[in-house]
Structure 1
Amino acid sequence: MKNNHKGDFRKSCIKKLEFISLFSKYYKNKIIVKKLEKFIKESESKNILLYIPLGIEVDVRPLIKTLRKKKNINVYVPFMEADSFKIVKYRLPLNRKKFNILEPNNSFLKPNKIDVAVVPVVGIDSLNKRIGYGKGMYDRFFDRLSYKPTIIFTQLILCKSKEVLSDNYDIQADYIITN
């Protein structure tokens, strides 16, 4: 029964996110990116996992651009592999892959530990656990890490359930940044 609720909640959040006006989206993105930049600077994080956004996700590309100019910061993004992903250094060109996601080319360099992981969410439940697109890629990725980075969820508008919809393997946020 819980999974049915989770699916319905996911659909309603996606609907809300799809109907944000372009002006509103632009404004919300700017606010959230500024908050992320401030957090990264204050935490003195050096290895940052970001993502290449889909249309309903917070557009972190301006943050990627800013961070890449800093000599002491490494920017990583997911590279889909099997049922999850590995992290690769962000670099151009980007290629369109499965689920219409853009990715850089594969990299064989193993990054140091990531300090901060910025993760897009469709919604969150009452435990601040992630409701994503339902593929479980982020959950598997973090489950396979031997350490726990600081996890920040981003969302254009907060879509939060009053119920527990997550499973015990769903990842939980240390921070949630929305507008």
Structure 2
Amino acid sequence: MNANHKSDFRKISIKRLNFVALFSKYSKNKRVIQKLKSIIHTNDAKNILLYIPLDIEVDIKPLINELRREKKIVYVPFMEDDSFKIVKYRLPLHKKKFNIKEPTNSFLKPKKIDLAVVPIVGIDVLNKRIGFGKGMYDRFFHRLKYRPKIVFIQLELCKSKEILSDNYDIEADYIITG
């Protein structure tokens, strides 16, 4: 695999997602969130890993609030070293490395997550995740002692016709796009 090709695909995908975010984000967010709610309900997920969205990602903040009202336990990534740990979602959020917002650190051991919702920059022909290139999600799931259901979400599908992934790149059980 040519590393330059993966980074080229990532750049093209990010450019495309920025364009989509400018012109049709609202309607795509609604479609993705409706499909995601169905998957959460179908899997009877109670402990859910979500994320704090960047501008080019599906805005799941309304879903976070809805799930918390339903007494689901919502976790989000908290960057730590070369990966992240999961912490309970709570306010206030603080802007950290890579312009990502996070709640404050939690020292409580999280419960086993049932379902993980993972933002993607794209996928390759094997349906493996292409992210922002830091490998944080790959390391997180590799270190996890179990495998929850994994859902990739994206405003618009960016898929390569070639194999761009490495053997450690994660795969999803579901892929939802707007």
Question: Normalised by the shorter chain, which TM-score bucket?
Answer: over 0.9
**Aligned partners of 1:21 and 1:69: how far apart in 2?**
28
- Residue matched to 1:139: 138
* TM-score of the two chains, using structure 1 as the length reference: 0.97
| Letter paired with 1:44 | D
- Residue matched to 1:19: 19
- Residue matched to 1:114: 113
Moved over 4 A (4+): none
Shift of 1:23: 4.8
Match status 1:170 vs 2:142:
no
SS at match of 2:14: helix
Give structure 2 stretches of 5+ with no counterpart: none
Distance 1:7 1:22, change over 3 A: closer
Alignment root-mean-square deviation, CA: 0.9
Q: How many residues are aligned here?
A: 178
**Aligned partners of 1:120 and 1:2: how far apart in 2?**
23
Shift of 1:22: 3.7
**Aligned partners of 1:42 and 1:127: how far apart in 2?**
25
Whether the aligned pair in 1 keeps the contact of 2:21 and 2:155 (CA below 8 Å) is no
**Aligned partners of 2:112 and 2:79: how far apart in 1?**
19
- Residue matched to 1:77: 76
**Aligned partners of 2:140 and 2:120: how far apart in 1?**
15
Match status 1:126 vs 2:125:
yes
- The alignment-based identity, stated in percent, is 71
| Letter paired with 1:54 | L
* TM-score of the two chains, using structure 2 as the length reference: 0.98
Match status 1:49 vs 2:37:
no
SS at match of 1:19: helix
Distance 1:44 1:21, change over 3 A: closer
Match status 1:160 vs 2:140:
no
Shift of 1:160: 0.3
